[in-house]
Structure formats: structure tokens, C-alpha cells
Amino acid sequence: MASSPTTGTSNFAHSGGKGNYAVPLTILTSLFFMWGFITCMNDILIPHLKAIFEMSYTQTMLIQFTFFGAYALMSLPSGWVVERIGYKNGIVVGLTVTGVGALMFYPAAGMESYTFFLAGFFVLASGITLLQVAANPFVAILGTPETASSRLNMTQAFNSLGTTIAPVFGAFLILSNGEGAQAEAATVQGPYIGIALALFAIAAFFMFIKLPVIENASDDTVKSGSAWGYRHLVLGAGAIFLYVGAEVSIGSFMINFFGEDFIAGLTESEAAKYVALYWGGATWYL
């Protein structure tokens, strides 16, 4: 089984810290911000689509089930794609797929189709999965092995910045406009067209910039066996699964929770500000 994409130091020839990697690291950090931003926009769309389609909480949470289910289903295929086309091309493809997923929200809103929305979420998350598989090893490889974890923590901080900004952005452009189901659905179209165009522009940028090449390490340095044989890795993956599940669930329900009359009676746009505080607070806690 392939090594974890979050380290990238075992199966690849390391840069050894030679050269100035500030520019490529800055460029890669922008990707972490983008997928954090897009992921947290779900917290805005969940109450918004729940109201439009008059769904139960179980039906509404199919959004997160579909989104994060794509991570489970597409992680291994993404690794296969990156192995064959390279990390830079993997980033370009990932950005493009994510942009296509964002564009799918336009017809989904026009047709008022929840099924089409879910399909858009799946494509969107599939692209983000490919981005994560490609970008994490790049960050780990840009410098010495001793500081790889520090670089990953730094880029993840910008991921958290994206999750903090997204609720404010979404509340202003999505939750504050529209009257009636059709008009409410249409408020999704503009922001996600903008997100798609930004993703396509970044993909085009990545096509022409030069990034360090990650080379596969020689076969004699690659350990054989399955990752499932490492007990601490398995337990760590389980802990992350439980933690992220709890964290995402809280953010997903927060707007509806604060909107209850016996809690705070806030409007969706007002409650979205507290979602931003929640994700910002989680950043400092971590």
C-alpha cells in the first residue's frame, strides 16, 4: 500500500533543503486555503438547501456524507492518477475537477434538483481529494526532512484561515438574498461560478509555472508491506476520523441550532458569523 500522502518523505527523493523554495511553497499554500474555503462553504449550504427543499436533518446531512464519502472512495484512485501523471499535473487536474464540481451548482440551482447538488458535491470533493494527495507531498519535500512537519502545519494554518473566512463570505452572498425557493436556489449560482473561475485560473497558472520535481526513491529504500500493519497509524487514522466527524458535524448544524427560538432565534446570516468564530477558535485550539 502507498505511503501516507501527508508526509511524502519515505517514497520520494528529498530536496535536502537545497535552494530557495519560498515561491513554490507560497503557491502551494494557496491551494490549502482554497480547499479549506470550499469545504467550509458546506456549512452555509446545509441550512440553505434544507430550507429550500424542506428536508429533514437526515436528508440534509447527505451533503456531508456525499462530500466526505468522496474522500474515502477517491483517495486511492487519486494516488494512482498522481503516480502516473505526476504531482504538478495532478494539481492541475484536481483544480479542474474541483472547478467542474463548482460549476455543477449552476444547473442544480436552476433545476432545483437536490440530487444534482449532491452530484456536484461529490465531484467537488473528488477534485479536492486529488489536490490533497498531490499537494501534501510537495510541501513535505520542499526543504529538509526535519522541518517537513512544520511546513505542513504552516500550510494547514492557511487551510484553517479559509474555513474561517468562508462562512462570512457565504452569509453575505448566499444567505442574505432571495425570496422564494427558486430565488433562494439561484443565490448559490453566482458565488460558485466565481469559485469555479478562480479554480480554473489557478489551474492555468500551475500549468505554466516551474515547480521542483518529486522523484520516486529507489526501490531498495521503499519498505514493503501494508500500512494497516502499523498499529499507531491505524489508531491515529481512527482518531482523526472521529475528531473530524465531530468537528464537521458541529459546524454543519450550528446555523440551524442558533436559529431555534429556544436557543438564540438568530437569522441564518447572523448565525453564520458564529460559524466563522467556531472555525477560527478551532484553529487556535489546534
pLDDT digits (tens, 9 = 90+) for 253-267: 999 999 999 999 999
pLDDT value of residue 142: 81
pLDDT at 228 over 90: no
Average pLDDT on 107-127 reads: 96
pLDDT value of residue 220: 54
Residue 278 lies in a domain: no
Which distant-in-sequence residues (6+ apart) come within 8 Å of 102 by Cβ? 38, 120, 124, 192, 193, 195, 196, 199
Show the cell assigned to 63. Answer: 451533503
Residue 197 lies in a domain: yes
Residue 125 lies in a domain: yes
CA distances from 142 to 11, 22, 94, 129, 155 (A): 14, 9, 20, 21, 12
Cβ–Cβ under 8 Å, residues 233 and 1 = no
Q: How many domains does the chain have?
A: 1
Average pLDDT of the chain to the nearest whole number: 86
Average pLDDT on 72-83 reads: 94
pLDDT value of residue 264: 93
Domain limits at 153? 22-219
Show the cell assigned to 200. Answer: 480554473
d(CA 223, CA 96): 33
Q: What is the CATH number of the domain that holds 33?
A: 1.20.1250.20
Residue 55 lies in a domain: yes
pLDDT at 119 over 60: yes
Residue 165 lies in a domain: yes
Residue 251 lies in a domain: no
Q: How confident is the model at residue 134 (pLDDT cuts 50, 70, 90)?
A: very high
Residue 160 lies in a domain: yes
Q: How confident is the model at residue 246 (pLDDT cuts 50, 70, 90)?
A: very high
Residue 111 lies in a domain: yes
d(CA 52, CA 91): 34
